[in-house]
Amino acid sequence: MKTTNIDLYAYFGLPREKNAKGYLHGMFFDQENPRVLQIGKRLRPMVLIIPGGGYHWVSYREGEPVALRFMQKGYNAFWLEYSTDEDGVCHPTQLKEAMMALLYIHKKAALFFSDPEQIAVIGFSAGGHLAGLLASRTEDEKVLVPQYLKTEPHIKACCFSYPVVTSQGKSQGSQYTFMFLTGGNKNLEKEVSLENRVTKDFPPSFIWTTAEDTTIEPQQSEYLSKCLTSKGVKNKCIVYPHGAHGTASGDINSFNAEKLKTIPAENATWVDEAAEFFKSCGLAIQD
């Protein structure tokens, strides 16, 4: 296994706002390792993981621990450390950084022994909202990263984990998320609400949450599923009966042993469910 850590602004030569982050971290299988070569020179699918944090901070337990679980499923895995309200930035900086991350792994797929056309995006909470913005990027937004005019990376499938979907959400977590993203601009909040961006071209999507989530109400996940279904987009939505917001990978890499006792074991199966959904969308190792 090898790791990579990339300053996306430096790589793409784009100006960085003061204090902006825009770093991509990742792990990928090393085909130069003789033990790996015993199973052939494979092309692996990739996942781009976008942690949550309400656009106020980045939840690192929804980054590397999730990447480790998807590596167990045969994926090369990357996670985005994006800018937040704490850094003094708001929309569209986060979308620009997500676009750079997606384009980077697409362009560098050969370096990661991966297929550039086999990319899934996984977002958590506010990171789920950002994943939705990335999946529905508009022609006007593509100019944020001029290289998109030459290369258009494709998202084959998405996974939305207890996502923030709409500015009409009643939960405090949802309201704060949109405030931190837009600076309180109500017109912009409406523009970036995912229900106003879903089209028939939205990627197939797996969505999951918990019925007891009081941070981001589970109805938002169900609403996203309904919006996708109305446009004819393949999707699957699971609402686990128990558990609070922020399951992350649902294992010891995300929580200490005491906290892990409060996570229903069933909730950690979301990774298996998502991987099966991705497989049904054609994401697979190529031997």
Range of the domain at 233: 2-280
Position 111 in a domain: yes
- 31: number of Cβ within 10 Å: 17
Position 157 in a domain: yes
Instruction: Check residue 149 and give its pLDDT.
Output: 85
DSSP collapsed to 3 states, 72-125: CCCCEEEEEECCCHHHCCCCCHHHHHHHHHHHHHHHCCCCCCEEEEEEEEEEEC
Position 15 in a domain: yes
Confidence check: pLDDT of 285 > 70:
yes
Q: How many domains does the chain have?
A: 1
Q: How confident is the model over 90-99, as a mean pLDDT?
A: 97
Kindly report, residue by residue over 147-197, the tens digit of the pLDDT.
998 899 999 999 999 999 999 988 999 999 999 999 999 999 999 999 999
Q: Which of 205 and 262 is assigned the larger pLDDT?
A: 205
Q: How confident is the model over 45-72, as a mean pLDDT?
A: 97
**Residue 65: cis peptide before it, omega within 30 degrees of 0:** no
Instruction: Check residue 41 and give its pLDDT.
Output: 73
Picking from 216, 199, 225, the residue whose alpha carbon sits closest to that of residue 277 is 225
Q: How confident is the model at residue 144 (pLDDT cuts 50, 70, 90)?
A: very high
Instruction: Check residue 38 and give its pLDDT.
Output: 59
Position 286 in a domain: no
Position 287 in a domain: no
Position 178 in a domain: yes
Kindly report, residue by residue over 235-272, the tens digit of the pLDDT.
999 999 999 999 999 999 998 889 888 899 999 999 99
Confidence check: pLDDT of 40 > 80:
no
Assign residue 62 the CATH number of its domain: 3.40.50.1820
Record the pTM.
0.96
Instruction: Check residue 33 and give its pLDDT.
Output: 67
Confidence check: pLDDT of 35 > 90:
no
Kindly report, residue by residue over 110-138, the tens digit of the pLDDT.
999 999 999 999 999 999 999 999 999 99
Position 129 in a domain: yes
Concatenated DSSP letters of the chain:
-EEEEEEHHHHHT----TT---EEEEEE--TTSHHHHTT---BEEEEEEE--STTTS--GGGTHHHHHHHHTTT-EEEEEE---GGGT--TTHHHHHHHHHHHHHHHTTTTTTEEEEEEEEEEETHHHHHHHHHHT--HHHHTTSGGGGT------EEEEES----TT--SHHHHHHHHHHHTT-HHHHHHH-GGGT--TTSPPEEEEEETT-SSS-THHHHHHHHHHHHTT--EEEEEESS--S--TT-STTTS-HHHHTTS-GGGGGHHHHHHHHHHHTT---B-
Confidence check: pLDDT of 37 > 90:
no
